[in-house]
Amino acid sequence: MSDDMTTQVFKEEAYELLGELETSLLELEDVPDDMDIINRVFRALHTIKGSGSMFGFEAIAEFTHEVETIFDMVRNGELGITKTLLTFSLSARDHIYSMLESPAGEVDSSVGEGILEGLKEVVSGAEVEESMEEPTADIAEAAEVGGIKSEPVVPAEPVVEGLSLKSLFQIVIKVAPGNEVEEESLDSLMEELGKMGVVRAKVLHRGAEVWWDVIFESNADSMSIEEIFFFTDVPVTVNVREVAREDIAGFLDVSHEDVDDRVAETTQPTKKLGEILVERGDVPAEAIKEVLADQKPLGELLTEKGVVSKEKVESALAEQNATKEFRSAAKKTRKKVDTASSIRVSAEKLDYLVDLVGELVIVQAQISQVVSSKADPSLTALSEELERLSDELRDSTLGIRMLPIGTTFSKFRRLVRDLSEELGKEIDLNTNGAETELDKTVIERLGDPLVHLLRNSIDHGIEDPETRAAKGKPRRGTITLSAEHSGGDVMILIEDDGKGMSREAIRGKAIEKGLVSADQDITDKEVFNLIFEPGFSTAQSVTNVSGRGVGMDVVKRAIDSLRGSIDISSTEGAGSVITIRLPLTLAIIDGLQVRVSDDYFVIPLSLVEECVELTRKDVEEANGQQFVNLRGEIVPYIRIREWFEVEGESPPIEQIVITGLEGSRIGVVVDTVIGEHQTVIKSLGRVYRDVEGISGATIKGDGTLALILDIPKLFRTVLAEVKAAG
């Protein structure tokens, strides 16, 4: 593997660990005594340090080591979790991220030094209690067995005190031959184990060979145990196996005649007496079965001797069976987890795969069109099979691009924490539906709009604690970020329990800016949508967070570019709800293909409600105005022929495609509706990128182009014309 590839592997792993580190640190703010979370923080730091050192990122390794040392004290109970400690730790996480991002780790070293100084002040200001208790000595005395010297090892006191430690492991740790190992190095590894559970161990020597025989009781899993030895400088091989409690009876008195045999015992079960006799040929297998069949179960023997009643034996057997079933189920679960695997694929390769699938969909459409003109049954069957396979491949490939939106949600906890502290507010962020999946491209482009909306909720929506208390509200405000599937779309809601929006304040500002007239009657929905106008702000003062009228119009454009919609509802004094609707993917969509003269267009099918006819009589009855009476509802429409200046005469009967967006409806007038079309979206070149009313293009089955209509843009144009007409 080249240096560039190894560096990239390290960085990708480090970015994931930094994300987990930030999440864990924020969780510690709510549950500072949770040892599982503390251990997650320590393991993330430990892995970043070890990997950094391994791949030559010495500056990262040295800095992370200092932070890791602090959390080692936390694990040992020598230092408590405080808000100041978490603040400096989050800053340390940001500094490590900066070192990863900058070329050759070139960052301002004074920033890192300042963070470490802050952490040292936290440590020096804390009360550290040192335990002077003598360690337990229920370890066997040193002995000489078969030329092998056995020395007792006193385990460190576990930091998991108070937990129920049930899992038992046997660990054989063998030092590689020819290597000299200092006892301090071995002791440090033992101390690391002791921090995760209760250790019972013996160090064994035979000449120059050294190994450990360890019984370890902990709630950890085998992977966590092996991690302890992953980055150690001690040249050891480690075998870990989970054992039943009854299998370790007399552990401390077991003699070891050969280390290799002992290592083999960790992976191979001991043979039963009957198996050995059969293998040697001393006893036939049938004889063993007959003898075993004659043996009575222990419960039956005890009942016959009157030691215990039959009912109590049956009760004990029921408990035994339940335990067996539980262990069997747990074993199957562990096996499934162990066999599950995943691979890391670069985003560029995945995007290229999606592009290839898109091309395949286009070619398949072309083949289907050619085959339909041949009327050959065998070709038709092959074409249908190709269509089925390409559809499955398309769905599978797009499924690979789908990511849980929780990957975006998690980073907002830090935003809410830091910004609320800066503004002197107390705010909790709740998230729901983090498992809801969206196309990775949508998620990437959704981050900035959500940041704007959350900042507005924190700054404009949630009141300061004193104001909330005076209103009878809890001092801590709440922002809820949730996602859920809604039909073919994903719906994202940002709710807060703040002061809400003042309808009159927004309307007054709109009148002042000339956006609406003083006598114009507008709905609540229209009032709240005014905040998306460029330069619009009702803030009384400009802060470093908001108030300049920049941001909400950017949010609107960003959501529109994702073919989505955004809606606001608010109750003054109670809070606001912002609803965003987004398509699941931006790569391949279902579209409705239409034609105007010889030009073809595609309308996203998710926005289409119905299709109706438009006759010349309908046009005459509307007195030239572009409205249609649709079952008692007046719906405005726009003519694609006029919008794009398509030459030719309109047919006597045209088609209106009724589309719905943000609670409103408009019609799109075309010559002919052709039907549903699997649309592979192709971006337009720089010259055509800003053409109003077009969001992209696709290739039809015959190789010609069809333009994809930008329905949100057409919506705004039509509604603006309707308002202007009064």
Residues identified as active-site: 46, 68, 456
β 402-404/437-439 pair status: antiparallel
Sign for the CA dihedral angle at 240, 245, 246, 251 comes to positive
Alpha-carbon gap, residue 264 to 211, rounded angstroms: 14
- DSSP-assigned letters across all residues of 236-305: EEEEEEEE-GGGGTTGGG---S-HHHHHHHTTSPPPPHHHHHHHHTSS-HHHHHHHHHHPPPHHHHHHHT
Partners of 599 in the β-ladder: 596
Interior CA angle at 650 toward 644 and 653, to 5°? 125
Q: Which amino acid is at 388?
A: R
**8 A C-beta contact, residue 693 and residue 641:** no
- In the DSSP assignment, the letter for residue 167 is E
Query: Please, which residues bridge with residue 696 across strands?
Result: 708
Contact 445/558 with Cβ under 8 angstroms? yes
> Is the distance from CB of 572 to CB of 502 less than 8 angstroms?
yes
- Of 125, 45, 53, the C-alpha closest to 84 is 125
Which of 483, 462, 486, 485 is CA-nearest to residue 474? 462
The one-letter amino acid at 230:
F
Structure tokens at 504: 């009159």
Q: What residues does 241 pair with on adjacent strands?
A: 170
C-alpha–C-alpha distance, residues 423 and 585, integer Å: 37
Q: Which amino acid is at 682?
A: K
CA distances from 322 to 303, 315, 330, 382 (A): 22, 11, 12, 55
Comparing C-alpha atoms, which of 561, 694, 686 is closest to residue 640?
A: 694
Outline where 108-149 has alpha helix (H).
Answer: 109-125
Contact between 595 and 674 under an 8 Å Cβ cutoff? The reply is yes
Residue whose entry in the numeric block shows the structure tokens 């007792």: 152
Distances (CA, A) of 68 to 120, 234, 651: 12, 20, 76
Q: What is the dihedral of CA 195, 197, 202, 207, to 10 degrees?
A: -50
Q: ∠ CA 133-137-141 to the nearest 5 degrees?
A: 145
- Which region, left, alpha or beta, applies to residue 645 given φ > 0 means left and ψ of -120 to 50 means alpha? left
Distance CA 670, CA 610 (A): 13
- Decide: 587 and 680 in contact? Cβ < 8 Å: yes
CB atoms within 10 A of CB 596: 23
Retrieve residue 321's tokens. 């069976």
What tokens were used for 272? 């039963």
Residue 699 CA: distances (Å) to CA of 87, 264, 350, 388, 395: 53, 64, 21, 19, 19
Only one residue has tokens 């902990």, namely 218
Q: Where are the beta strands (DSSP E) in 376-499?
A: 402-404, 427-432, 437-439, 477-486, 489-496
Q: Contact 638/717 with Cβ under 8 angstroms?
A: yes
Residue (of 567, 576, 368, 624) closest to 460 by Cα position: 576
Collapse the DSSP code of 570 into the 3-class scheme (helix H, G, I; strand E, B; otherwise coil) and give the result.
Answer: strand
d(CA 13, CA 386): 39
